[in-house]
Amino acid sequence: MIQRLIRLAMEARLNAYTPYSNFTVGAALLTTDGTVFTGCNVENAAFTPGNCAERTAVFKAVSEGYKEFEQIAIVGGKKGEQPKEYCSPCGVCRQVLVEFADPKTFQVIIAKSEEDYQVYRLEDLLPLSFGPESL
Ligand SMILES: [Zn+2]
């Protein structure tokens, strides 16, 4: 499943809209029932309205009625190039993931290729997070 998610993230990355940074990111989010939602980063001339690949995937899933997730694979790097580094989710995306995923079990897969990847628990990427159970 990890290789499949990475492959889907790589495919989604091809759709990234990044005329300003030329840094393209793709994400593939696995729901608890096995459905996968993909996303890419979408930039904007005014900069702040842009959206990350991870949040694009989460918002697509939530808008389709899915709110329980198990894993997300993320692939990012310079447009048209194989990733040289692992692309980890930004702080905002980590916070959005905490809203819908159990930080103790949800896995974040950051990949350079289908064979070269790292797996982290969301809790390790966003310790002491403020989530729905905090209210
Ligand atoms: Zn982000």
15-54 per-position pLDDT tens digit: 999 999 999 999 999 999 999 999 999 999 999 999 999 9
Q: Say if strands 107-111 and 117-121 run parallel, antiparallel, or are unpaired.
A: antiparallel
Kindly give the distance from the C-alpha atom of residue 12 to the centroid of ligand 1, in angstroms, as a whole number.
15
pLDDT at 8: 98
**Is pTM, for the whole model, over 0.75?**
yes
Contact 119, 2 (CB under 8 A): yes
Kindly give the distance from the C-alpha atom of residue 56 to the centroid of ligand 1, in angstroms, as a whole number.
9
68-114 per-position pLDDT tens digit: 999 999 999 999 999 999 999 999 999 999 999 999 999 999 999 99
pLDDT at 99: 97
Question: Which H/E stretch holds residue 23?
Answer: strand 23-31
Contact 43, 18 (CB under 8 A): yes
Kindly give the distance from the C-alpha atom of residue 77 to the centroid of ligand 1, in angstroms, as a whole number.
14
Kindly give the distance from the C-alpha atom of residue 63 to the centroid of ligand 1, in angstroms, as a whole number.
18
108-124 average pLDDT score: 98
Catalytic residues: 54
